[in-house]
Amino acid sequence: MAKFESLTFDNGFSRLPETYYSRVCPTPVPDPYLVCYSPEALALLDLDEGEMTRPELIETLAGNQLLPGMDTIAALYAGHQFGHYVPQLGDGRAILLGEVKNAAGEGWEVQLKGAGRTPYSRGGDGRAVLRSSIREFLCSEAMHALGIPTTRALCIVGSDRPVYREDQETAALVTRLAPSFVRFGSFEVFYYRNQVEPIKHLADYVIARYYPELTALADPYPEFLRQVALRTAELMAQWQAVGFSHGVMNTDNMSILGLTLDYGPFAFLDAFDPGFICNHSDTGGRYAFDQQPDVAAWNITKLAQALVPLMSVETASQAISEYPQAFGRAYLERMAAKFGLPPGGETASLHPQGAGRGCRDTEVSTTMLIMDALQLLAQNHVDYTIFLRRLGDFDSRPETANTLLRDLFLDRAAFDAWAARYTAALRQLNSIDAERGASMRAVNPKYILRNHLAEIAIRRAADERDYSEVNRLHALLTRPFDEQPQYEAYAAEPPDWARKIEVSCSS
């Protein structure tokens, strides 16, 4: 474990030509203080937890002082925002401090989000408010604990410097970590400027560092594109399976590594609602929950287009052609596991006695069982996370009512009909309740970052300077699959007041 002064910086991105970024220093904030930190993220940098008590480190992560070896830059990128190309975005408030090489040989880029204006700030103030920083910090670390690829969050440093949004708020900086923050939009910017060389050079850099196995190929670019598409398919499967809605799936928020990136107005589903729109500003529902896999596919075509200077149009479309199947397969595999059913395969007849008689109307597939359950959840406004967690306690013995689960549904008869089919499928599979339950509890989280939980933590932090709730939530969400009986209330449905919470891009 190291002291932060002895961190080794090896800044790959800022060794690239200045075409890709602007050199810029963070703008200091007055009297920074530590709000919270993630011990797990700290360990990625080999830093001792005691380091977080040192004012020098807080000053550094507030952007007030730099360490030797840091080379601070804001990256250039463009992107399609809500379907429209915006030729210049870039890190408008995030500043890359450098890339730390840890003892395991991993490179972690360290970035301050909310570090002040950059050449890409456009009309913005370069700042982030405490409220949105808490949401990003908690969700990054919660997603990681759920096993979902994401950028990480090391800590939040706050300052009483005022920041003006709808109301006056205070500033905060999230220290984010990722192997790379390169986005689809990092390539698009050069495509639309008709600059082929920077596209090639950036692709070479990303391939060499993050897809090294492709360097052996004579022509690595199509395979690179294919792998980005496949990683994105996997990520979408994970979002859909856990019920995560990103809210702003613009191409500048799509990671070239398939990571969840840029937490803004995101939300986890409470009641299952396929058309759920978490972003208050998304009036057309472009980024509604059930649109996400298709939006990702659309975004991938924009990446493919940006890479067309490196390959033919046919090759590019071929490279991304597996996305739909890859998504479908990954999603169904995850959903099957969440329902305690075997992956993929069609389950045999639900009435074994009918199987040999070609009783086709009694044959259903795992997929149908799952899709029908989702439809029932939507019709009955049943909480997605609670349903799946309780399904892990499903009792498949005859005559059992599974009351706790059944009580989630208004339409009990419809639930009973589904439960009968589920029971039949389980019996057909010789599924053992206790074993299935244990494996389901390992994939169906009990605790997710519900909007109202974040809201309570934010209010305490903002109104009372009390960060204990942020810390409690963080600790709770790092073990989302474990029963934590003292926190039972954190697994409950949102209270009525939570309906009024609105989140938008103004963060």
Q: Which residues are catalytic?
A: 252
Question: Is 262 or 270 the residue whose CB approaches Mg ion more closely?
Answer: 262
Q: By the 8 A CB rule, do 96 and 75 touch?
A: yes
Question: Is 51 or 91 the residue whose CB approaches ligand AMP more closely?
Answer: 91
Pick the piece of the chain touching ligand AMP (CB under 6 A) from 23-31, 90-98, 308-316, 463-471. 90-98
* 263 vs 248: CA distance, rounded Å: 8
Which residue in 90, 158, 220, 437 binds ligand AMP (CB under 6 A)?
90
* 313 vs 310: CA distance, rounded Å: 9
- Residues contacting 449, CB < 8 A, separation 6+: 138, 139, 142, 268, 473, 477
Distance of CA 263 to the CA centre of its chain: 8
Question: Is 240 or 253 the residue whose CB approaches Mg ion more closely?
Answer: 253
Question: Is 94 or 386 the residue whose CB approaches ligand AMP more closely?
Answer: 94
β-partners of residue 157 are 34, 173
Question: Is 90 or 309 the residue whose CB approaches ligand AMP more closely?
Answer: 90
How many of the chain's residues bind ligand AMP (CB under 6 A)?
Answer: 17
Q: Please, what sign has the CA dihedral across residues 208, 201, 316, 232?
A: positive
* 230 vs 415: CA distance, rounded Å: 36
Distance of CA 337 to the CA centre of its chain: 20
Pick the piece of the chain touching ligand AMP (CB under 6 A) from 86-94, 319-327, 377-385, 463-471. 86-94
248 binds ligand AMP (CB under 6 A): yes
246 binds ligand AMP (CB under 6 A): no
- Position of minimal CB gap to Mg ion: 262
260 binds Mg ion (CB under 5 A): no
What's the min distance (Å) between Cβ of 262 and ligand AMP? 4
121 binds ligand AMP (CB under 6 A): yes
* 67 vs 251: CA distance, rounded Å: 33
Do the bridges between strand 94-101 and strand 128-129 make them parallel or antiparallel, or are there none, so unpaired? unpaired
Pick the piece of the chain touching ligand AMP (CB under 6 A) from 53-61, 87-95, 133-141, 173-181. 87-95
264 binds ligand AMP (CB under 6 A): yes
223 binds, among ligand AMP, Mg ion, none (CB under 5 to 8 A by kind): none
Q: What is the DSSP string of 442-477?
A: TTS-S----HHHHHHHHHHHHHH---HHHHHHHHHH
253 binds ligand AMP (CB under 6 A): yes
What's the min distance (Å) between Cβ of 342 and ligand AMP? 40
What's the min distance (Å) between Cβ of 79 and Mg ion? 8
* 301 vs 251: CA distance, rounded Å: 10
Q: By the 8 A CB rule, do 429 and 347 touch?
A: yes
Instruction: Mark 343-365 as b/e (b = at least 16 C-beta within 10 Å).
Output: eeeebebbeeeeeeeeeeeebbb
48 binds ligand AMP (CB under 6 A): no
**Interaction residues for ligand AMP, span 278-337 (CB under 6 A):** none
Pick the piece of the chain touching ligand AMP (CB under 6 A) from 91-99, 190-198, 341-349, 356-364. 91-99
Question: Is 141 or 262 the residue whose CB approaches Mg ion more closely?
Answer: 262
The 3 state secondary structure assigned to 36-90 is EECHHHHHHCCECHHHHHCHHHHHHHCCCCCCCCCCCEEECCCEEECCEEECCCC
Q: At what angle do helices 384-391 and 366-380 cross, to 10 degrees?
A: 130
394 binds, among Mg ion, ligand AMP, none (CB under 5 to 8 A by kind): none
Kindly report the number of other CB atoms within 10 A of residue 82's CB atom. 14
Q: How far is CA 53 from CA 47, 48, 260, in A?
A: 12, 10, 29
131 binds ligand AMP (CB under 6 A): no
262 binds Mg ion (CB under 5 A): yes
How many of the chain's residues bind Mg ion (CB under 5 A)?
Answer: 2
46 binds Mg ion (CB under 5 A): no
Which residue in 125, 223, 363, 493 binds ligand AMP (CB under 6 A)?
125
- Residues contacting 472, CB < 8 A, separation 6+: 457
Which residue in 34, 52, 62, 89 binds ligand AMP (CB under 6 A)?
89
91 binds ligand AMP (CB under 6 A): yes
30 binds, among Mg ion, ligand AMP, none (CB under 5 to 8 A by kind): none
For residue 295, give the nearest of 307, 277, 313, 271 by alpha carbon.
277
Site string for Mg ion, 104-143 (x = CB under 5 A): ----------------------------------------
Q: At what angle do helices 384-391 and 433-441 cross, to 10 degrees?
A: 150
505 binds ligand AMP (CB under 6 A): yes
469 binds ligand AMP (CB under 6 A): no
64 binds ligand AMP (CB under 6 A): no
Q: For tokens 């190309």, what's the residue?
A: 85
The H-assigned helical ranges of 244-355 are 292-307, 313-319, 323-338, 352-355
What's the min distance (Å) between Cβ of 252 and Mg ion? 5
For the record, the structure tokens of 116 come out as 């002040």
176 binds ligand AMP (CB under 6 A): no
Catalog residues that contact Mg ion under the rule CB under 5 A.
253, 262
Binding interface with ligand AMP (CB under 6 A) = 89-93, 120-121, 124-127, 248, 250, 253, 262, 264, 505
